Amino acid sequence: MTHDFHPTSLREYDIRGIIGETLGEADAYAIGRSFGTRIARAGGRKVAVGYDGRTSSPGLEAKLVEGLNDSGVDAVRIGLGPTPMLYFAVHELGCDGGVMITGSHNPPNYNGFKMMLGNGPFFGADIQALGRTAAAGDWESGAGEASTHEIMDRYVERLLQGFAPPAYKIAWDCGNGVAGPVVEKLVKHLPGEHHLLFTDVDGTFPNHHPDPTDEANLVDLKRVVAEKGCDFGVAFDGDGDRIGAVDGQGRVIWGDQLLSILAAPVLKALPGAVIIGDVKASQMLFDRIAELGGTPLMWKTGHSLIKAKMKEVGSPLAGEMSGHVFFQHDWYGFDDGIYAAVRLIGAVSEMGGSLTALKDSMPVMINTPEMRFQSSEDRKFVVVEEVLARLEASGAKVDRTDGARVNTPDGWWLLRASNTQDVLVARAEAVSEASLERLMTALNGELAASGVEPVVVGH
Write b or e for each residue in 22-46: b if 16 or more Cβ atoms lie within 10 A of its Cβ, otherwise e: ebbbebbbbbbbbbbbbbbeeebeb
Answer with the residue of higher pLDDT: 442 or 376.
442
Predicted pLDDT at 457: 41
Q: Is residue 381 classed exposed, middle or buried when 0-12, 13-18 and 19+ CB atoms within 10 A define those classes?
A: middle
The residue length of the chain stands at 459
**Residue 454 confidence class, pLDDT cut points 50, 70, 90:** confident
Q: Is residue 164 classed exposed, middle or buried when 0-12, 13-18 and 19+ CB atoms within 10 A define those classes?
A: exposed
Residue pLDDT, tens place only, 290-329: 999 999 999 999 888 899 899 999 999 999 999 999 999 9
pLDDT at residue 48 is higher than 90:
yes
- C-alpha 100/C-alpha 431 separation (Å) is 42
Residue 223, amino acid: R
**Tell me, what DSSP letter sits at residue 165?**
P
Query: What percentage of the chain has pLDDT greater than the value 70?
Result: 99
What does 40-79 look like in DSSP terms, one character per residue?
HHTT--EEEEEE-S-TTHHHHHHHHHHHHHHTT-EEEEEE
Predicted pLDDT at 459: 35
Do residues 417 and 397 lie in contact, with contact meaning Cβ atoms separated by under 8 Å?
Answer: no
H or E element, residue 170: strand 168-173
Catalytic site positions: 104
Do residues 305 and 278 lie in contact, with contact meaning Cβ atoms separated by under 8 Å?
Answer: no
Predicted pLDDT at 374: 87
CB atoms within 10 A of CB 137: 12
Torsions phi, psi of 2, nearest 5? -130, 170
Predicted pLDDT at 246: 98
- C-alpha 117/C-alpha 138 separation (Å) is 19
Indicate the angle between helix axes 337-350 and 152-159, nearest 10 degrees.
20
Domain architecture of the chain: domains with CATH: 15-150 (3.40.120.10), 154-361 (3.40.120.10), 366-449 (3.30.310.50)
Predicted pLDDT at 77: 98
Residue pLDDT, tens place only, 25-45: 999 999 999 999 999 999 999
pLDDT at residue 456 is higher than 60:
no
Predicted pLDDT at 422: 82
**Residue 165 confidence class, pLDDT cut points 50, 70, 90:** confident
- C-alpha 404/C-alpha 407 separation (Å) is 10
Do residues 401 and 279 lie in contact, with contact meaning Cβ atoms separated by under 8 Å?
Answer: yes
Predicted pLDDT at 455: 54
Mean pLDDT of 92-117: 95
* Full 3-state SS string of 290-324: HHCCCEEEEECCCHHHHHHHHHHHCCCEEECCCCE
Mean pLDDT of 378-393: 95
Query: What percentage of the chain has pLDDT greater than the value 90?
Result: 88
Mean pLDDT of 206-231: 96
Residue 133, amino acid: T
pLDDT at residue 362 is higher than 60:
yes
Dump strand ranges (E) for 217-340: 232-236, 243-247, 252-253, 274-278, 295-299, 317-319, 325-327
Torsions phi, psi of 157, nearest 5? -60, -40
Confidence (pTM): 0.93
Average of per-residue pLDDT values in the chain: 95
Q: Is residue 285 classed exposed, middle or buried when 0-12, 13-18 and 19+ CB atoms within 10 A define those classes?
A: buried
Do residues 116 and 49 lie in contact, with contact meaning Cβ atoms separated by under 8 Å?
Answer: no
Cα radius of gyration rounded to whole Å, the chain:
22
Residue pLDDT, tens place only, 238-263: 999 999 999 999 999 999 999 999 99
Torsions phi, psi of 126, nearest 5? -60, -45
**Region for 383 from its dihedrals, namely left if φ exceeds 0, alpha if ψ lies in -120 to 50, beta otherwise:** alpha
Nearest partner of 242 among 128, 341, 115, 95, judged by Cα:
341
Do residues 327 and 317 lie in contact, with contact meaning Cβ atoms separated by under 8 Å?
Answer: yes
Pairing mode, strands 232-236 and 168-173: parallel
